[in-house]
């Protein structure tokens, strides 16, 4: 927190000087994903546009069973796009990986089309502009092996450079000409659209993409890092998993900070691992549910106040009335040891954290543990709260359970969903639907029969993109 404030103070000093000379031009700086030294929200009083550096392929992980590691995780990229958009409504990419890098220790060769896919992903999420590092691969120095848009001769395009050119040409075909200077939210306005788009009447296909909220509190990252309790608990991974579950259903995600009012039009709000809470936040959650919203909380929510002190009373005392259950105990399993939780007749693996719940008679039980000595104990619940509901997912599980939990909530809440293949995102910007295939095999675009594709085709190749106009 100290370093974040220090960075913010120095950033404001520079911004105040610049504003005296640059008029209405934007001021930005480049953040890194989930980087603990700087909470971007601390700089909201100085920046007009938030930007970040995206280097998604670094050779991380092991025992990969396919080649998707050459493409990166679309949810891990997209959540940071939407985080950047959440501060002022304006965001951009200042650096995007153009090829292999010199610092990872595992110089993975990118999948053909990966750079193009990342550029289209940023555009689909509302980026105002994209720049990269580097333009030219150097001939000497410590970054000798860091690729650029051109090779060391400064003229010949690299593979990534050719994909940049391809995207520029594709954007021109869509009528995208120059950045808008009045973008107010990530999905509000395209950079520009073809002249024919504005005149078309609204249709079912042209309906707004359903939006759900995801609460992202940067201060929780600091606490989980300082006092992890469970060594495999990764708050960034937990957030990304819930983001991925929403994207799988074809839902747009709006990032919400805990100090922001919850937009009442959001049908679902997900708050994963909100360990530190205060009375105002819990009351806001309760008000949201009472007014008809569907709130989803997870394990390690409400365990302590905003100063990191536990409550005098039951475990997670402030949220007990919301979830309609008490947390009797919790469990964490050793490395490579897995247990199961069952919901709707399907068993799912977990091993990071599991709350053992006691549900009140009026609270609906959604899932139970299917093994260990506490087999049959309640793992997830749903409680009616006013006109809405509060769902409690007591298990830090694998992705399949997260997917099933959110899909169940969305369908029960009447939120329209379109289940997509794994690692496939479908977004809408302006008049265009944009399908992004992060698989290493081809898929079929979920477009209406007879759709005329502006970019790509109905068969979307690995690392491919398809763009069509709403009709």
Q: What is the pLDDT of residues 73-83, one digit of tens each?
A: 999 999 999 99
Residue 186 has what pLDDT?
Answer: 43
183 pLDDT more than 90: no
**Which tens digit of pLDDT belongs to each residue from 2-61?**
999 999 999 999 999 999 999 999 999 999 999 999 999 999 999 999 999 999 999 998
pLDDT at 91 over 50: yes
Q: Of 160, 119, 213, nearest to 436 (Cα)? A: 119
**Taking residues 180-198, what's their average pLDDT?**
36
Beta carbons within 8 Å of 232's beta carbon, 6+ residues apart: 332, 335, 351, 352
What is residue 105's three-state secondary structure? coil
173 and 72 fall within a common domain = yes
Average pLDDT over residues 377-390: 99
Helix ranges, 55-188 (H): 74-88, 114-124, 159-174
Domain identity same for 139 and 241: no
Burial of 142 (0-12, 13-18, 19+ CB in 10 A): exposed
Residue 191 has a pLDDT of 30
Dist. CA 309–CA 376, nearest whole Å: 32
| 193 pLDDT above the threshold of 90 | no
The domain that holds 19 is classified in CATH as 3.20.20.80
pLDDT digits (tens, 9 = 90+) for 237-249: 999 999 999 999 9
Residue 394 CA to residue 356 CA, distance in Å, equals 7
- 451, 458 Cβ separation under 8 angstroms: yes
Nearest to 339 by CA among 281, 407, 265, 394: 394
Mean pLDDT of 382-392: 99
Do 250 and 153 reside in the same domain of the chain? no
Q: Which two tokens stand for residue 377?
A: 């104990």
pTM of the complete model: 0.94
Q: Check whether the bond before 134 is cis (ω within 30° of 0).
A: yes
The tokens for 421 are 């293949």
Residue 119 falls inside a structural domain: yes
Full residue range of the structural domain in which residue 143 is found: 2-191
Name the token pair of 158. Answer: 């690299």
The answer to whether residues 231 and 374 belong to one domain is: yes
At 109-151, the pLDDT tens digits run 999 999 999 999 999 999 999 999 999 999 999 999 999 999 9
The pLDDT of residue 185 is above 90 = no
Counted domains in the chain: 2
- Predicted pLDDT at 179: 53
302 and 377 fall within a common domain: yes
pLDDT at 187 over 50: no
Do 250 and 304 sit in the same domain of this protein? yes
Longest dimension (CA), the chain: 73
**Residue given tokens 């490395």 in the structure block:** 335
Mean pLDDT of 267-276: 98
Whole-angstrom Cα distance, residue 148 to residue 157?
A: 9
Give the per-residue pLDDT at 456.
Answer: 98
State whether 115 and 174 are in the same domain: yes
């Amino acid at each position: 927190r100290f370093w974040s404030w220090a960075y913010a103070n120095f950033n404001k000093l520079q911004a105040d000087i610049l504003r005296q000379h640059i008029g209405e031009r934007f001021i930005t700086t480049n953040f890194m994903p989930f980087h603990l030294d700087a909470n971007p929200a601390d700089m909201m009083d100085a920046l007009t546009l938030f930007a970040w550096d995206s280097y998604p392929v670094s050779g991380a992980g092991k025992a990969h069973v396919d080649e998707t590691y050459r493409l990166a995780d679309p949810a891990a990229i997209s959540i940071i796009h939407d985080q950047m958009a959440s501060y002022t409504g304006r965001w951009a990419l200042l650096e995007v990986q153009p090829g292999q890098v010199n610092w990872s220790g595992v110089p993975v060769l990118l999948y053909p089309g990966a750079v193009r896919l990342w550029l289209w992903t940023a555009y689909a999420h509302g980026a105002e502009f994209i720049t990269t590092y580097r333009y030219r691969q150097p001939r000497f120095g410590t970054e000798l092996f860091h690729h650029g848009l051109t090779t060391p001769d400064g003229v010949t395009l690299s593979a990534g450079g050719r994909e940049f050119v391809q995207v520029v040409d594709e954007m021109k075909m869509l009528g995208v000409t120059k950045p808008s200077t009045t973008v107010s939210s990530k999905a509000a306005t395209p950079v520009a659209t073809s002249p024919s788009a504005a005149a078309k009447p609204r249709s079912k296909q042209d309906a707004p993409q359903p939006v759900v909220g995801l609460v992202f509190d940067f201060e929780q990252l600091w606490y989980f890092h300082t006092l992890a309790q469970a060594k495999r608990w990764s708050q960034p991974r937990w957030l990304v998993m819930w983001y991925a579950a929403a994207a799988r259903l074809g839902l747009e995600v709006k990032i919400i900070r805990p100090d922001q009012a919850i937009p009442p039009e959001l049908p679902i709000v997900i708050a994963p691992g909100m360990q530190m809470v205060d009375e105002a936040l819990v009351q806001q959650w309760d008000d949201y549910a009472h007014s008809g919203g569907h709130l989803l909380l997870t394990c390690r929510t409400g365990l302590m106040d905003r100063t990191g002190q536990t409550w005098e009373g039951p475990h997670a005392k402030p949220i007990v009335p919301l979830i309609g259950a008490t947390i009797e105990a919790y469990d964490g399993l050793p490395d490579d040891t897995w247990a199961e939780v069952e919901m709707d007749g399907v068993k799912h693996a977990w091993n990071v954290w599991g709350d053992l719940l006691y549900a009140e008679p009026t609270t609906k039980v959604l899932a139970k543990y299917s093994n260990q000595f506490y087999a049959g104990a309640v793992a997830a619940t749903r409680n009616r709260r006013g006109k809405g509901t509060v769902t409690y997912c007591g298990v830090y599980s694998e992705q399949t359970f997260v997917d099933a939990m959110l899909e169940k909530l969305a369908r029960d809440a009447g939120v329209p969903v379109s289940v997509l293949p794994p690692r496939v995102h479908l977004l809408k910007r302006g008049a265009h639907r944009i399908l992004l295939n992060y698989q290493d095999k081809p898929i079929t675009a979920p477009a209406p029969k007879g759709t005329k594709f502006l970019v790509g085709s109905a068969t979307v190749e690995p690392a491919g993109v398809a763009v069509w106009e709403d009709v």
